[in-house]
């Protein structure tokens, strides 16, 4: 979608602080973190929200969940929330589906 900021981040047209990437999805740091770890995970294809994604591409749901769990495990101490705000009244402001990985504790660097 041409006017979608997360499509532009996926395309590299808007810079982001990338955490991880695979064929289907991208993870990057939220520009306005609410917790010590605040990472967004997005599918590279545009879907409006998690309902749109789930109704139209179940394989993409599995891919995104698997990717999100992997990114969360690699970047937190294993205690995290994975949150999909859906609809304006639930706080969604960017209408390209994204999961928020939120944690109070980043993974400790291994010696
Ligand atoms: P929502 O409120 O839609 O669930 O979450 C949108 C999130 O995207 C917010 O937490 C906001 O800080 C983040 N965000 C909005 N624009 C940008 C951007 O250009 N870059 C990054 N990295 N995060 C963004
Ligand atoms: Zn988009």
The position carrying tokens 């304006």 is 88
- Which atom, in ligand 1's list, is nearest to the CA of 5? 19
Ligand 1 atom closest to Cα of residue 34: 10
pTM of the prediction? Answer: 0.97
Nearest-5° angle of CA 54, CA 46, CA 42?
Answer: 75
Show pLDDT as tens, one digit a residue, over the chain (111 residues): 779 999 999 999 999 999 999 999 999 999 999 999 999 999 999 999 999 999 999 999 999 999 999 999 999 999 999 999 999 999 999 999 999 999 999 998 776
* Burial label, 58 (beta-carbon count in 10 A; 0-12, 13-18, 19+): exposed
The finding on whether 94 has its CB within 6 A of some atom of ligand 1 is yes
Quick check: 23 and 87 in contact, CB under 8 A? no
pLDDT tens column, 71-93: 999 999 999 999 999 999 999 99
Tell whether ligand 1 has an atom less than 6 A from the beta carbon of residue 54: no
Question: Which residues place a Cβ less than 5 A from the ion ligand 2?
Answer: 1, 4, 6-7, 46, 96
Instruction: List the alpha helices (DSSP H) in the chain.
Output: 5-10, 50-56, 58-75
Judge whether 24 counts as a catalytic residue. Answer: no
Cα(58) to ligand 1 centroid in Å equals 24
CA 111 to ligand 2 center in whole angstroms: 39
């Amino acid at each position: 979608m041409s006017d979608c900021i997360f499509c532009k981040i996926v395309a590299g047209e808007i810079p982001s602080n990338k955490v991880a990437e695979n064929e289907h999805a991208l993870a990057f740091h939220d520009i306005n973190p609410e917790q010590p770890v605040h990472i967004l995970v997005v599918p590279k294809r545009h879907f409006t929200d998690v309902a749109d994604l789930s109704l139209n591409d179940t394989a993409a749901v599995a891919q995104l969940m698997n990717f999100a769990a992997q990114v969360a495990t690699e970047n937190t101490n294993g205690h995290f929330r994975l949150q999909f705000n859906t609809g304006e009244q639930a706080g969604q402001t960017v209408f390209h589906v994204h999961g928020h990985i939120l944690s109070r504790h980043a993974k400790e660097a291994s010696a």
